[in-house]
Amino acid sequence: MAKQKKTKQDEESFQYDAVVIGTGPGGEGVAMQLAKSGKNVAVIERYEAVGGGCTHWGTIPSKALRHSVSRLIEYNNSPLFADSHISRNLTFAEMMKHASGVIRKQTQLRASFYDRNRVTMHYGEASFIDAHTLQVVRQDGSKDVITTKQVALATGSRPYCPDDIDFSHPRIYNSDTILSLDHDPKSVIIYGAGVIGSEYASIFRGMKVKVDLVNMRDRLLSFLDTEISDALSYHLWNNGALIRHNETYESVEGRDDCVILNLKSGKRMRADCLLFANGRTGNTDKLNLENIGLKADGRGQLSVNADYRTEVENVYAVGDVIGYPSLASAAYNQGRFAAQAMLEGQAQSALVQDIPSGIYTIPEISSVGKTEQELTEAKVPYEVGRAQFKHLARAQIASTEVGSLKILFHRETLEVLGIHCFGERASEIVHIGQAIMQQQGKGNTIEYFVNTTFNYPTMAEAYRVAAINGLNRIF
């Protein structure tokens, strides 16, 4: 491990105890924990407002956009207005107005955290001079040099943009720039059917835009339980999206009136615009990591140990820049744990083993724990309990009858092994099962869902229905 030798006098002359580069969830987690522990902390943010990609280009705006589209679908399909209303259509830009309000509120809230905890803000592009010295270049070109005892990198990631595609073309977008879409496309090609691509396929179909979804693999979101993946595929297909599996692009032609995607299989596709959503790259290229002896991998990511320390003793990293699980919720906790290590020499906590996934398609998908395929391969004797939303009174009231909850549990011990949910509010519903999975060492099993009392009518009641359904299979 590379060590930087500093005398006691040098350490006392540092301007800050710690500098955090990036103000997304990971950076916020580090900065708040250190500041509340009495440390003199500064953060460096390359943009004019705090929040990082999560607040400005990723999680918050896309989920706010999805919410608006879901409400539009709900209005257009509601039997309550069937006799009196005219079907409404809204443009992408009109939908984004709601998202802009949410971004503004989140930015103001997050900025108040730094202010309240007396964290010094530096706005500009950060880079290393050495392991204890950073340069900050402001947008006007002026520079600051600051010194610090420790550094935490929470620089996040950006969409992967291959060099052979012209992303400056007004009809070619990535998952950041798509938020500034200002025309009203009738058709869109989405290249990449991962989480982001699948979410935007749902959003555009909800706006009645023709969608061609190009997937490089043989099924959607292959990390999901197969039934859930199949449910998403069917729902997109049933809503009119065309999905092409096992395809790779050869070239992209941006024209004045359209975009043409040429596939290696020989197929040609045309649409009003293209959304390229195939992977992300860590934001490490401008940090001058070579000045401290660090090197990022081919995806711009850094390696860390269990304490989130890099190969340089006083430099830590959290969030997207270290890869898995690349979730805003996990990044905040990683930041807190890294701060513990920076304060005490090692982290006292770690991420939970079973991290829930939330995929904001329409309807939502959320899961935690093992899939049926993983349990079958491991020869675990499991059973399945299922509740279909169409049988729940709350779903009937809210007209959210598409979807189901699936509980996987051990036939003998009744231990809950996995929770898989497809349907509206799935990302909320899954946490009930997650809580019980974390408590199973204290005697909680699938029988908890049968023996407890749920409010009625609620979507949470699906757990009781699924538990009974599963236990009835045991003989």
No. of H helices and E strands in the chain? 13, 22
Q: Give dist(CA 438, CA 111) in Å, integer.
A: 33
Determine if residue 48 is labeled as part of a ligand binding site. yes
β partners of residue 253: 260
* Direct distance between the N- and C-terminal alpha carbons of the chain, in angstroms, rounded to an integer: 57
Residues 6+ apart with CB under 8 A from 312: 1, 2, 4, 131, 292, 293, 294
Determine if residue 320 is labeled as part of a ligand binding site. yes
Q: Is the distance from CB of 107 to CB of 49 less than 8 angstroms?
A: yes
Determine if residue 45 is labeled as part of a ligand binding site. yes
In 336-381, beta strands by DSSP E:
357-359, 365-369
Determine if residue 192 is labeled as part of a ligand binding site. yes
Q: Give dist(CA 241, CA 247) in Å, integer.
A: 16
The enclosing H or E element of 405 equals strand 403-410
Determine if residue 29 is labeled as part of a ligand binding site. no
Determine if residue 202 is labeled as part of a ligand binding site. no
Determine if residue 206 is labeled as part of a ligand binding site. no
Q: Is the distance from CB of 96 to CB of 61 less than 8 angstroms?
A: yes
Determine if residue 430 is labeled as part of a ligand binding site. no
Determine if residue 155 is labeled as part of a ligand binding site. yes
Three state DSSP letters for 165-179:
CCCCCCCEEECCHHH
Identify the DSSP state of 160: -
**β-strands 357-359, 315-317: how paired?**
unpaired
Determine if residue 172 is labeled as part of a ligand binding site. no
User: How many whole angstroms from its chain centre is CA 59?
Assistant: 6
Q: Which residue has the tokens 């929040």?
A: 51
AA identity, residue 325: P
Determine if residue 196 is labeled as part of a ligand binding site. yes
Residues at the binding site for NAD(+) are 192-199, 279
Residues at the binding site are 45-54, 63, 155-157, 192-199, 279, 320
Residues at the binding site for FAD are 45-54, 63, 155-157, 320
